[in-house]
């Protein structure tokens, strides 16, 4: 008799398990935040009202990669929480190792914030679309603007592109590899880039509004490595304010921009 009750109990547990699998729900959703970044999420309901979240967060539009995502969503509390992990962590030398996203969900409108492993945080909003994400180059951004939600140590604000430059230029493979050190800059910024062939080149600094701050160089340059130093002054010879700036190199091959931060 005891074995009979044990068997009934085991059968009951099995039926509950099977029914939970039978009625579990799965879906995909694309979260597009106010910076234009996309999270492609898979939601798997593991018990009524509670979902496991996996997927990717796309930083490719800033020269990064797809970061794997894990998290949870509750239909009861309307809280969406997930963590994007850098597949190639570098401990904040350029990129954060992790970015944590927390959203309050109201229908398809989301309000939330991020915090990254470099100690930066910011509030922002997002929109949820059921189904897959579009290719990153098709995401809707404010005209002439793009930004990042904390993936990078220094790239944390929504910035305007330099005047004359379009978003599709930022999404192309770059013809010039630019290095800026130190970044953040406090007294000066060393600028280094390589040219595959001889070309006419213009090296300029722009502010957050896309206005020209200083032309550092405008000349025909030979192939090879080139070095310049910016003393953090404007064309008027006055020190610039602290904040974000664009370094732009224009060659016959195209336009390459790199963001830098003046720490004052």
Domains of the chain, residue spans:
24-146, 161-262
Give the DSSP H/E element, type plus range, for residue 98: strand 98-106
pLDDT at 254: 74
Per-residue pLDDT of the chain (264 residues; tens, 9 = 90+): 444 443 343 333 333 333 333 445 788 888 887 767 788 999 888 888 888 999 999 877 666 678 999 999 988 888 899 999 988 887 776 678 888 999 888 767 788 887 888 777 777 778 787 777 666 544 433 333 444 444 443 333 334 455 555 545 554 445 578 888 988 889 999 999 989 889 999 999 987 666 789 999 999 999 999 999 999 999 999 999 988 788 888 888 777 777 788 887
pTM of the model: 0.49
Distance of alpha carbon 194 from alpha carbon 223, whole angstroms: 7
Give the DSSP H/E element, type plus range, for residue 167: helix 167-171
pLDDT at 32: 81
pLDDT at 77: 86
CATH number of 24-146: 2.40.128.30
Q: Would you give the distance in Å from CA 43 to the centre of its chain?
A: 22
**For domain 161-262, which architecture applies?**
Sandwich (2.60)
pLDDT at 82: 94
Q: Would you give the distance in Å from CA 173 to the centre of its chain?
A: 17
CA dihedral 31, 36, 37, 39 (to 10 degrees): 10
pLDDT at 152: 43
pLDDT at 92: 74
């Amino acid at each position: 008799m005891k074995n009979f009750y044990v068997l009934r109990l085991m059968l009951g547990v099995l039926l509950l398990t099977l029914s939970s699998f039978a009625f579990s729900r799965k879906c995909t959703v694309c979260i597009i935040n106010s910076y234009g970044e996309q999270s492609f999420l898979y939601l798997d309901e593991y018990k009524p009202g509670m979902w496991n979240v996996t997927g990717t967060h796309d930083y490719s539009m800033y020269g990064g990669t797809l970061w794997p995502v894990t998290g949870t969503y509750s239909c009861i509390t309307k809280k969406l929480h997930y963590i994007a992990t850098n597949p190639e962590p570098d401990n904040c030398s350029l990129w954060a190792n992790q970015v944590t996203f927390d959203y309050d969900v109201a229908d398809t409108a989301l309000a939330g914030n991020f915090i990254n492993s470099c100690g930066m945080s910011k509030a922002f909003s997002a929109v949820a679309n059921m189904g897959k994400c579009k290719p990153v180059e098709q995401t809707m951004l404010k005209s002439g603007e793009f930004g990042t939600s904390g993936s990078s140590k220094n790239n944390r604000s929504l910035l305007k592109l330099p005047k004359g430059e379009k978003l599709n230029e930022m999404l192309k493979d770059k013809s010039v590899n630019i290095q800026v050190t130190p970044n953040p800059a406090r007294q000066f910024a060393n600028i280094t880039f390589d040219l595959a062939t001889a070309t006419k080149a213009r090296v300029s600094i722009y502010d957050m509004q896309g206005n020209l701050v200083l032309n550092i160089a405008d000349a025909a340059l030979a192939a090879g490595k080139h070095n310049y130093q910016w003393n953090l002054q404007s064309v008027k010879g006055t020190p610039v304010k602290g904040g974000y700036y664009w370094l732009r190199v224009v060659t016959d091959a195209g336009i390459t921009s790199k963001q830098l931060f003046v720490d004052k």
